[in-house]
Every structure is written in C-alpha cells, then in structure tokens.
Amino acid sequence: MIDIIEELCQKIENTILGDKETLEKFRHDFIGKKGFIPTLFESFKALPVSEKKIIGPALQSLKNEAEAKIKNATKLIETYVASSTTHKEDTTLPSFGPEVGSLHPLRIIQNKVISIFERIGFNLVDGPEIVGDWHNFGALNFAENHPAREMQDTFFIQRNPDKLLRTHTTSVQISTCESQVPPVRAISMGRVFRNEAISARSHCFFHQIDGMYIHTHVTFNDLKETIYYFIYEMFGKETKVRFRASYFPFTEPSAEVDISCKLCAGIGCTVCKHSGWVEILGAGMIDPNVLMNCKIDIDKYNGFAFGMGIERIAMLCYRIDDLRLFSENHIAFLRQFTACL
Ligand code: DAH
C-alpha cells in the first residue's frame, strides 16, 4: 500500500489545477466518496496493527496534501474569476482611431502648385538631381566664367566628366526639351543644392518648381497671364502682383515677380523687410540660345519660363520663419499639418 500512497503523492504534486473543471475532477478522483483516498482508508481498516502504525501517518499526510491542494486551487480560481469580471473590457466604449500622419508642408504646397498648373495643361516632368555642367549651366546660356559655376556656389561631385548637384530645377528644362518636341508645357519640381551655410534664411538644399511653355507665337503677355492665374489661385484674388525687370542668363527679357506680403497685408513687417512686398518667382521669355542648344527651331518656336522656391511659398502660407524647420523633422512641427491634407 505504501507504493500506491507514494504514487498518488507524486500525482498530486504533478497535477495543475488551472480551471474549475480540472479542480472538480481532481476532487472527485481523490477525495470523492469512491475516490482513491477514501478507498485506501477502507482497505486500511483491514490491516494488521503493526502495518497500521507505518501506513497510518503516510495515508493521513496524503489526504492532507490533497485537501490543501484543493483549497489553494479553489482560492486562486475564485480570485481570478472575480478579478476578470470586475476588470472586464467595456466593449461599448468607442475605439481609439488610427494615428493620423501628416503630409510634409513642402509636399502640401507642391501638390497645390501642381494641381493649379495641371488645370491649365502643364504636365509634371522629372529630372535627375545629379547632372553635368551642360544641363545645369552650359545649355542654359551661363557664361563660361559665371560665378555660379564656382565651387563656392555649386557642389561638384566630379570634374571630368563633370558631375554636380543641380543648383536649380531649370536644368530639367533642358532634359525635357531633349526628349520632347514642341509644343511643350511642363513643370518640374524637386530638390536643389547650393554650397551655402545653414541658417534660418539659407540652406544647402531646398526645393524649387520650374515651368516652361514652348509654342509658336508665345508672348510676354501669355507669361503674365499664367503667373497672374497662378498667384490668384495660390494666394487669393486680393493679392497684389508686380513684375520687376531682372536678369537670368536663360531668359530675355527677364523679370522677378513680387506679391503683396500675406503676413502684414502689405503694411510692412519683418518678413517683407517693411516693404509690403515679397519676391516669389523669377520668369522671362526663354533666350533663343537656350532653344538652339536644345535643337529647337527658333524661327518657328519661342517660349516663356518661370521658377520659384517652394520653401519661400510654404513660409508665407504657414507663417514659418526658419528654413531649418523643413528638414529637421520635429514631430511637434510636422503634426501641425495633420489637417492640411
Ligand atoms: N533658376 C532660377 C533660380 O534658381 C529661377 C528661375 C528664374 C527659373 C527664371 C526660371 C526662370 O525658369 O525663367 O533662381
């Protein structure tokens, strides 16, 4: 009998009473009316006294062990059931919505500008950020000794054959003219690079949008109408616009375009340097040399072009006063644009 007691003892130790059903079965098997332990007590009665002295205490401790195990398990299961009913999830509560990200402010402005120009038939074209001197300067009529070609302004990657980081998206005008035949109505946008110290007002990379229109009999008035349309759509019909004569190697005549300052409504503030005007783009009639460099027949075709900085427009639209914010990726800064999709 001592072997059976030891075997049962082992069984008690090894059984895990994790739920009510297993607990009840255990109780039934071990201490139920016809369970192992009562049956052993029955057989115990018939034993000779000498054996009873040895088996008695072992049998009693087996019973104690079984009862203690049942008591502990009952307590544990009861507390678990009680806590799971009190802390039950409230399934009627509204769920947490998915965390909404935001478009980058420069992307928002880019999308807006693209959609404005697409409405009047401009196609979006793309060009590489690494270009040769020809696409960035030569074909755009920059003189051989033009200061922009110097190391101080341009990031050269390689001298021979020349590879550099484009300093303006105007380079895309050349690659587009190489692959398309007029009439061309295209805008391009992307990152440009200049060797400048990083501060609130200048950066070594920023973004530009460049556009061009090549057709027969294009006039300066076509350019003006296009620019007026863009400015009214982008900044509102109440915006004042002024064209100032300027110079770019790739346009003749050239102009810079100012709009009345959005921040102070033209009264004067630090952004417009108290002039009431802010410059937003450069433009002009494409210089015939540029068209010839792209093998376009200048007796038949002419065109206009324009270019602007995206950061400048975003700064005006969102009252941002530090260029560095656009590339530092502070979550608190970016979150402000969640609603501007
Ligand atoms: N590329 C000029 C710049 O980076 C901007 C520009 C001016 C582009 C006149 C043009 C243009 O296409 O016609 O400052």
More confident residue, 80 or 137: 137
Pocket-forming residues, ligand 1, beta carbon under 6 Å: 168, 170, 210, 248, 251, 282-284, 305-307
Domain assignment of residue 96, yes or no = no
Q: Which two tokens stand for residue 143?
A: 């003189």
Domain assignment of residue 100, yes or no = no
Domain assignment of residue 93, yes or no = no
pLDDT at 270: 79
pTM: 0.72
pLDDT at 78: 84
Could you identify the residue written with the tokens 């376009």?
A: 296
Same domain, yes or no: 121 and 64: no
Ligand 1 center–CA 103 separation, angstroms: 26
Would the pLDDT of 106 be above 90? yes
Domain assignment of residue 273, yes or no = yes
Q: Which is the closest atom of ligand 1 to the Cα of 169?
A: 1
Cα(214)–Cα(218) distance, integer angstroms? 7
Same domain, yes or no: 41 and 109: no
Same domain, yes or no: 336 and 278: yes
pLDDT at 85: 67
Ligand 1 center–CA 102 separation, angstroms: 30
Average of pLDDT values for 28-56?
A: 90
Domain assignment of residue 46, yes or no = yes
Ligand 1 center–CA 170 separation, angstroms: 6
Domain assignment of residue 124, yes or no = yes
Same domain, yes or no: 263 and 292: yes
Would the pLDDT of 265 be above 90? no
Do β-strands 241-248 and 130-131 pair in parallel, antiparallel, or remain unpaired? Answer: unpaired
Domain assignment of residue 234, yes or no = yes
pLDDT tens-digit profile of 278-305? 999 999 999 999 999 999 999 999 999 9
Q: Which two tokens stand for residue 34?
A: 């016809």
Same domain, yes or no: 71 and 113: no
Ligand 1 center–CA 295 separation, angstroms: 21
Same domain, yes or no: 19 and 70: yes
pLDDT at 341: 59
pLDDT band for position 220 (cuts 50, 70, 90): very high
pLDDT tens-digit profile of 200-215? 889 999 999 999 999 9
pLDDT at 87: 67
Q: Which is the closest atom of ligand 1 to the Cα of 173?
A: 12
Domain assignment of residue 99, yes or no = no
Would the pLDDT of 1 be above 90? no
Same domain, yes or no: 168 and 39: no
Same domain, yes or no: 61 and 131: no
Single out the residue in 42, 57, 86 at which a domain terminates. 86
Give 73's contacts (C-beta < 8 A, 6+ positions apart): 17, 23, 26
In this structure, what CATH number is given to the domain that contains residue 301? 3.30.930.10
pLDDT at 294: 96
Dihedral class, residue 57 (left if φ above 0, else alpha if ψ from -120 to 50, else beta) = alpha
pLDDT at 189: 96
Which stretch of 74-78, 119-123, 132-136, 267-271 has the lowest confidence by average pLDDT? Answer: 267-271
pLDDT tens-digit profile of 143-191? 988 887 877 789 999 988 899 999 999 999 999 999 999 999 999 999 9
Residue range of the domain that includes 79: 2-86
Q: How many domains does the chain have?
A: 2
Single out the residue in 86, 114, 144 at which a domain terminates. 86
